[in-house]
Amino acid sequence: MKFFVDTAEIDAIAELNALGMVDGVTTNPSLIAKSGRDIMEVTREICDMVSGPVSAEVVALDAETMIKEGRKLTEIAENIAVKVPLTWDGLQACKTLSDEGKMVNVTLCFSANQALLAAKAGATFISPFIGRLDDINIDGLDLIADIREIYDNYGFETEILAASIRTVNHMSECAKIGADVATAPPAVIKSMANHVLTDKGLAGFVKDIEKAGITIL
């Protein structure tokens, strides 16, 4: 499963990228706005750092303007994936941009039917928001499984990009189900390394080493 980092924080992306933990980045205007910097400038800097897809989101709601914005965003770098909402206008924009050879990430997906439409429209990525479904007492992981089954049934090439990930359990469950990509905040990805038994074992190891007076350097 590929890891996309869901942030616009340059330092956080660089840290994870140095460890080979970044296969791509997902951003949105809200994330970039928190930095107080220009959207195009930040997006270009991320694209220069990361070789994989960088999702940059349109802000328009109508298809015609989404297409124009998408074309402008793809001028930033070759690895831009235009992020459009899963609306009828968004699907129209997806079809046009995909036909032009541009990567498209269709976001705000909450049903298998929506995911099926996105695949038919040529989406490169479909982004089901599992955390937001969990918020309303619907198991978001079930949606990942449903989309995986449908895409496998018909050989769709659209990649399942599990989004709105809140926990490390979301990450492992998405991997078991077969999500192609999971996008998560840096803190969630880093927390995957944590385990209470690892901490306990390391504490015991350090105690034994100190008692024995062992040194290497």
- Give 74-123 pLDDT, tens digit per residue: 999 999 999 999 999 999 999 999 999 999 999 999 999 999 999 999 99
- Give the number of other Cβ atoms within 10 Å of residue 131's Cβ: 15
All structural domains of the chain: 2-191 (3.20.20.70)
* pLDDT for the residue numbered 184: 97
In this predicted structure, the answer to whether residue 34 has a pLDDT above a threshold of 80 is no
In this predicted structure, the answer to whether residue 127 has a pLDDT above a threshold of 80 is yes
**Global model pTM greater than 0.95:** no
Share of the chain above pLDDT 70, in %: 100
Residue 136 binned pLDDT confidence (cut-offs 50, 70, 90): very high
Residue 176 binned pLDDT confidence (cut-offs 50, 70, 90): very high
Give the whole-angstrom CA distance, residue 50 versus residue 34.
21
Give the whole-angstrom CA distance, residue 97 versus residue 68.
10
Catalytic hit among 2, 34, 72, 83: 83
Taking all residues of the chain, what is their mean pLDDT, rounded to a whole number?
Answer: 95
In this predicted structure, the answer to whether residue 35 has a pLDDT above a threshold of 80 is no
Check if the beta carbon of residue 64 is closer than 8 Å to that of residue 97.
no
* pLDDT for the residue numbered 211: 81
Query: Is 83 one of the annotated active-site residues of the chain?
Result: yes
For 80, the 3-state DSSP assignment is: strand
Give the whole-angstrom CA distance, residue 9 versus residue 35.
8
For 156, the 3-state DSSP assignment is: coil
